[in-house]
């Protein structure tokens, strides 16, 4: 798998989808935005558009396993959704442990003075950024040759 180029992270929820994108060197994650969940077909079309527009080379889905490492019903749902998307995209789609990402996102937003509705509006995108940064930190890219 290529270790350079932008990565898209997805924090999949039942109503909203949080998105984050890395820089080209896969060093820094940044919140990209939030999409309202629609049908899979519509969601997948929007992912494909983002992949094309941003030059994405990898998609990372937050994988909601339990604290003790078990895969529950929600994890199986995310796994099936990501597998279906992977069949349609020309870039790899992988799963990445998302434990604590929402709690980290909420704490980060509160530390920046966001409260109530402001937290709810941004939490999914910030959680996606935490998932992505965790992935990037675990997979440092090889520096480009001079």
Instruction: List % helix, strand, coil for the chain (3-state, nearest 5).
Output: 40, 25, 35
* CATH code where residue 132 lies: 3.30.420.140
The total number of structural domains that make up the chain: 1
Q: pTM to 2 decimals?
A: 0.85
Rounded to 5 degrees, φ, ψ at 92 are: -65, 150
Is 64 part of a structural domain of the chain? yes
Is 143 part of a structural domain of the chain? no
Is 145 part of a structural domain of the chain? no
Is 108 part of a structural domain of the chain? yes
Is 95 part of a structural domain of the chain? yes
Range of the domain at 130: 6-138
Is 1 part of a structural domain of the chain? no
Q: Which residues of the chain have pLDDT under 50?
A: none
Is 10 part of a structural domain of the chain? yes
Q: Quick one: pLDDT at residue 121?
A: 57
Q: Quick one: pLDDT at residue 70?
A: 79
Q: Quick one: pLDDT at residue 3?
A: 72
Q: Quick one: pLDDT at residue 54?
A: 97
Q: Residue 33 belongs to what H/E stretch?
A: strand 29-36
Residue 27 DSSP one-character state: -
pLDDT in tens, 91-123: 999 999 886 556 665 566 566 666 566 556 566
Is 144 part of a structural domain of the chain? no
């Amino acid at each position: 798998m290529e270790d350079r180029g932008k990565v898209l992270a997805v924090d999949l929820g039942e109503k909203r989808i949080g998105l984050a994108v890395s820089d080209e060197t896969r060093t820094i994650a940044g919140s990209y935005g939030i999409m309202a969940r629609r049908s899979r077909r519509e969601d997948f079309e929007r992912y494909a558009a983002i992949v094309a527009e941003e030059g994405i080379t990898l998609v990372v889905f937050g994988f909601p396993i339990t604290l003790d490492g078990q895969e529950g019903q929600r994890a199986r749902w995310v796994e099936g959704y990501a597998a279906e998307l992977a069949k349609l995209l020309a870039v790899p789609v992988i799963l990445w442990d998302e434990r604590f990402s929402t709690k980290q996102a909420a704490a980060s937003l509160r530390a920046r003075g966001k409260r109530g509705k402001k937290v709810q509006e941004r939490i999914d995108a910030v959680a996606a950024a935490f998932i992505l940064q965790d992935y990037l930190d675990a997979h440092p890219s090889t520096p480009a040759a001079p």
